[in-house]
Amino acid sequence: MRILVSGASIAGPVLAYWLNRYGFDVTVVERTAAPRKTGGGHAVDLFRPAMQIVERMGVVDEIRAKATGTDALVIRRPSGKTVTLDLRKLFTAVSDSHVEIMRDDLSEILYNTTSSDVTYLFDDSIATIGDDGEVTFEHSPPQRFDVIVGADGLHSNVRRLVFGPESGFTTWLGAYLAIFSVPNYLELNGVMEMTVDVGRVAGIYSAAHMDDARAGFFLRTPQPLEYHSRDTEQQKELLRSHFHDMAWEVPRLLAELDHTPSFYFDSITQLQLDTWSRGRVTLVGDAAYCPGPAVGGSTSMAVVGSYILASELAAHAGDYSAAFAAYEHEIGDYVHRSRSFARTAAKTLVPARRFDVWAMVNAIRLINALPAPVSRAAAKLNTKGVRLHDSIPVKDYAAFDRMRE
Ligand SMILES: Cc1cc2nc3c(=O)[nH]c(=O)nc-3n(C[C@H](O)[C@H](O)[C@H](O)COP(=O)(O)OP(=O)(O)OC[C@H]3O[C@@H](n4cnc5c(N)ncnc54)[C@H](O)[C@@H]3O)c2cc1C
């Protein structure tokens, strides 16, 4: 059975790995000219269920070796006073097994573990998908596939081709984010620093294995902003006008906008498709159920969703209609809970009122003050919230795994 996957970041290579392991013939098409390079992108999280899956893939040691090593977050209030959050304590409370890693490092590890068994088509994109599985590409000759999967992110090409424009399925969560590369001029090592005010958050972090640093900006606006998604100069101008009077390192970080080699700006938007399969096409990862970039731990969901999709296709011996229904059933609860988690996280991350800044600082003080076993026990009571990911049971598909026989 021939399966085409669009996108080679996180969901794409995990899906390709498991499909190949179950005996399917897999091609991955990726728009960028080459695999993602080490050191770029932003930090992402893998929580327990995703860690169990990458462990079964045999890449958990490589992933741990590339962890960012960020273990403290210094938050600066409008008064200039700071409070430091012990991130190790926080993550030990929210997950039994957690790694933070740069997305491009993770993507590179996942690509390397699949590249000899899977056909990768770089610098290409799907142009059309026929009902009979005939796929045309922007550059490569047409081919026929039994199943086509969109693993091509929040602004998925496959979703647009099959389900229509994204505006029909998205809800804006009231905020925007920007991330861009800057020199590590503060010589940060294991520490993320940020300044918080009503409606505005700006920060900088570096990571082990990274020569430079990332500046991150979050902003809340009463109404959606008017800008073009490909006009980076306009987006940079929006950032400058929102943050021009913020103190601390913000003027220096804004000055770096003139030279940065990489710049990302997007709305914090939640996808709300009721179903993400149609005919022989389905979606996985951010393309299907992004709860909002940077607010929902969606990398873990991309790993778990990819594993479930591949396993259900194996369990149903390639009967894709039955497999897609089972996949959506298995991942549905995780998707719905992550949406409500992300809505709360978006509100908490960018304070809307002075009271929210105060509440954030006091929550940090509480986490720091509680002995680790107590904060861990308290977090365990809150499975729908902070322990969302760890509370997801992943079905056992070992019976279909020939490598386990
Ligand atoms: C600024 C920021 C901060 C984040 N922070 C966190 C965090 O702290 N923790 C966390 O867990 N998650 C975080 N995320 C979310 C995380 O990056 C995603 O959930 C994760 O990368 C999803 O993986 P994916 O493979 O589904 O999609 P993506 O990583 O978006 O990958 C999509 C892939 O598809 C490719 N593609 C796009 N269009 C086409 C096309 N037409 N044809 C072929 N290929 C195409 C892209 O080039 C890319 O390689 C953050 C996201 C952002 C933007």
Q: How far, in Å, CA of 208 to CA of 102, rounded?
A: 10
Q: Tell me: the pLDDT tens digits for 104-163? A: 999 999 999 999 999 999 999 999 999 999 999 999 999 999 999 999 999 999 999 999
| Residue 154 CA to ligand 1 centre (angstroms) | 7
In ligand 1, which atom is closest to the CA atom of 29?
Answer: 43
Instruction: Please check whether residue 59 is in contact with residue 307, taking contact to mean a CB–CB distance below 8 angstroms.
Output: no
Backbone angles phi, psi at 6, to 5 degrees: -100, 120
Determine whether the shortest distance from the Cβ of 270 to ligand 1 is under 6 A.
no
Determine whether the shortest distance from the Cβ of 345 to ligand 1 is under 6 A.
no
Residue among 10, 91, 135, 267 whose CB has most ligand 1 atoms within 8 A, to mutate = 10
Determine whether the shortest distance from the Cβ of 152 to ligand 1 is under 6 A.
yes
What's residue 193's pLDDT? Answer: 97
Torsion of CA 296, 299, 303, 306, to 10 degrees: 80
Determine whether the shortest distance from the Cβ of 108 to ligand 1 is under 6 A.
no
Q: Tell me: the pLDDT tens digits for 298-339? A: 999 999 999 999 999 999 999 999 999 999 999 999 999 999
Domains in the chain (CATH in brackets) are 2-67+103-169+271-352 (3.50.50.60)
Residue among 103, 264, 392 whose CB has most ligand 1 atoms within 8 A, to mutate = 103
Contacts of 137 (CB under 8 A, 6+ apart): 29, 121, 124, 125, 126, 127, 143
**Residue 250 token pair:** 């913000």
pTM: 0.95
Helix runs in 171-222, H state only: none
Determine whether the shortest distance from the Cβ of 29 to ligand 1 is under 6 A.
yes
Q: How far, in Å, CA of 51 to CA of 163, rounded?
A: 31
Determine whether the shortest distance from the Cβ of 331 to ligand 1 is under 6 A.
no
Determine whether the shortest distance from the Cβ of 14 to ligand 1 is under 6 A.
no
Those residues of the chain that have pLDDT short of 50 are 39
Instruction: Please check whether residue 27 is in contact with residue 321, taking contact to mean a CB–CB distance below 8 angstroms.
Output: no
What's residue 380's pLDDT? Answer: 65
Contacts of 366 (CB under 8 A, 6+ apart): none
Determine whether the shortest distance from the Cβ of 10 to ligand 1 is under 6 A.
yes
